[in-house]
Amino acid sequence: MTVVNIILCCSSGMSTSILSKRTKLAADQQSISLHIEAVDSTLVERKLEQAELILLGPHLKYKLEILRNLAPLSTRIEMIDKAIYQSFDGNQLLKFILSLDLKTKKEIEKSTKEESEEKGWTNQSPFKSYFTPEMLEALRWKR
């Protein structure tokens, strides 16, 4: 597994700080490279672009769908199991992280590009194939 950027999030960042240290220790013992950071719930939205995985404390379930809608496709957002969160069990959290079969942003971008090429998709706007240049100009909002 390549180095994956992981963010743990709770209300104040205190509980996830302990959990991140224990998870990092468990990863080091197994010679697994992880970059884990703990943040509070007010900072997590600013970190969406930086992480491949964001794990939320169980009490932040209300933020799950909001963050999934805001996050880029290359950022996965999951909940930390309540038992793992309450016990601060770094080994169990590491097992959960490894079970997710995460990919780095570069790996995701490469596979997305390859899939697009296989399907014949391009970076062009889909509207260009349906509208003539004159129609596009008429639809453009003028100041």
Which residue out of 9, 10, 26, 94 is catalytically annotated?
10
- Rounded CA separation 26/20 (Å): 10
Helices (H), 1-140: 14-29, 64-70, 82-87, 90-99, 105-119, 133-139
Per the CB < 8 A criterion, the answer to whether 7 and 47 are in contact is yes
Sign for the pseudo-dihedral over CA of 125, 131, 137, 142: negative
* Amino acid, res. 99: S
- Rounded CA separation 88/103 (Å): 25
Our answer to whether residue 9 is catalytic in this structure is no
Just list the catalytic residues. Answer: 10
